[in-house]
Amino acid sequence: MANAATGVRPLDHLKVIDVSSFLAGPFCSTQLAEFGADVIKLELPKVGDALRRFGSVTPSGDTLPWLSECRNKKSATLDLRTPDGAELLKALIKDADVLVENFQPGTLEKWNLGWDVLKEVNPRLIMVRISGYGQTGPYSGRPGFGRIGNAFGGLSYLAGFPDRPPVTPGSATIPDYMAGLYGALGVLLALQSLAKTGRGQVVDIGLYEPIFRILDELAPAYHMKGYVRQRMGPGTVNVVPHSHYPTADGRWVAIACTSDKIFERLAVAMGVPELGGTGKWGTITQREAERAQVDEYVGAWSAQYTRDEVLRLCEEHQVPCGPVYAIDEIFEDPQYAARGNIVYFNDERVGEYAVPNVVPRLTDTPGGIDRLGPALGEHNDEVYRKRLGLSEARIQALKEAGVI
C-alpha cells in the first residue's frame, strides 16, 4: 500500500501494457507496478503466459514464479496474431505510456505492430524491447534465454574452477532479472526525455548486455593487457583473501579483504598481526604472489571456529564477513526480519505466500505488494468494456473468435 502520509506512489497514473512473456519483460513491468504503475498483462486466450507453467505449481494452478513475478498486475487475454487482436492492442496503446515486449525481433513487425506502426498510433509511447541479442546486429534474430545471456555475456566462463567446465553462475535467470531492471530504468530515463522533447522512444536491451556491463574490469583489462580472466573458483581477481572459507561446524563464511588496511585488521583478528602492515603479506602485490597460501592460511584459521565465532571475531575487528546462507537460514535471520525483506502475503487461492519484498526502499513514497499474479483473463471486463468501451455483443464475438 502507498505510504499513509502521502497516499501516493511514484508511478501512479502511469499506464503500462505488457505483452511480454516468461521473465525478463514481465519483471520489468513488475518493477513499475510495485511503484504504482497500472500494468495490464496481455496473454494468449486459454493458454496464458508460459511463466504460469514454469516452476512449482500452486493450488491455484499457476506456478510460484508467476504469482511472485507478475504481482500487482491485471490480466487480460488477447491474441495479437489476429487482425482484431492487433487493432485492440493499438486501441490500448493510444492511451498508454509504456509498452513492454520480449518477442524475437521481427515478430511484432510481422503482425504489423512494430515501432514504426505504434509510434504513429501514439508518438509519446515508450516501448521496451528485450530480446536475446537486441534489435540489431548479426545475431538479432536468434532466440535467447537467460542461460544464453550468461554464456554470451561472459559470466558463465568465469564461474567454476579452472580445471573443470564452466558452471551456472548461481542462477540461469540472472540476465532476465537484470534486463528487466535495466528495462525499468530505461522507462524512467525515457520519461524524463519525454518531458523535454514530447517524443517517446524505444528502450532496446539484449539479455547478454546487462551481464557484460557488470563484469568490472574484464573488458578494459583485456584491451590494455591482453589478459583473459580464467575461472578462479570462489576467489576474485585483484584482491585476496576474498573468498569463502570453512568453519568448524561444517558451514562457510565469506570474507572480503578489498584493501591492505582490511587485511591488516584480519591479521590482527587471526592473532598474527605481523602478517599485515610491513609484514610478508602486507600489500596486495605480496598476497597476489602467494594467493594459494594466503587462502589456505585463512581457511585453516576459520576452520578452528564455528561460523558464529568467525563472524564475531571479524565484526570486532571490522573485517567484512558474512555467512554463506541457504534459503532456510535466510528465513530465520533477524536482519531479514528487521528489514521486512520477506513479505508474508495471504491469498485466497494459495493461502499464506512468502515473497521477496520490494526494492528499493523509498522513505516517503514507497512501493508495495497489493496482490499476487492474477488469474488468466481476470480483468477482461475492466479492459475491454470499461477502458475500451466495447459492447457486450462485441466482447462476446471476440471471445467466440478466440481473439480474447
Q: Kindly list the catalytic residues.
A: 176
Interstrand relation of 38-43 and 73-77 (parallel, antiparallel or unpaired): parallel
Contact 98, 186 (CB under 8 A): no
Residue type, 380: N
Of 235, 174, 184, 238, the C-alpha closest to 210 is 174
Contact present, 302 and 253 (Cβ < 8 Å): yes
Bridge partners, 351 (sequence order): 347
Provide the 3-class DSSP secondary structure of residue 112. Answer: coil
Q: What are phi and psi for residue 15, nearest 5 degrees?
A: -105, 125
Q: Round to whole Å and give the CA distance between 65 and 42.
A: 17
Cis peptide before 360 (omega within 30 of 0): yes
> By the 8 A CB rule, do 181 and 168 touch?
no
Dist. CA 224–CA 233, nearest whole Å = 24
Beta strand 252-256 with 351-356 is unpaired
Is residue 170 a contact partner of residue 158, using CB atoms and an 8 Å limit?
no
CA nearest neighbour of 29 among 382, 374, 383, 385: 374
> Residue 29 and residue 43: Cα distance in Å, rounded?
14
**Residue 66 to residue 26: CA distance in whole angstroms:** 9
Q: Which residue has the cell 570462489?
A: 234
What type of residue is 75? S
Q: Which residue has the cell 462476446?
A: 396
Q: How far apart are CA 136 and CA 75, in angstroms?
A: 31
Sign of torsion over alpha carbons 160, 163, 166, 168: negative
Between CA 165 and CA 4 the distance in angstroms is 53
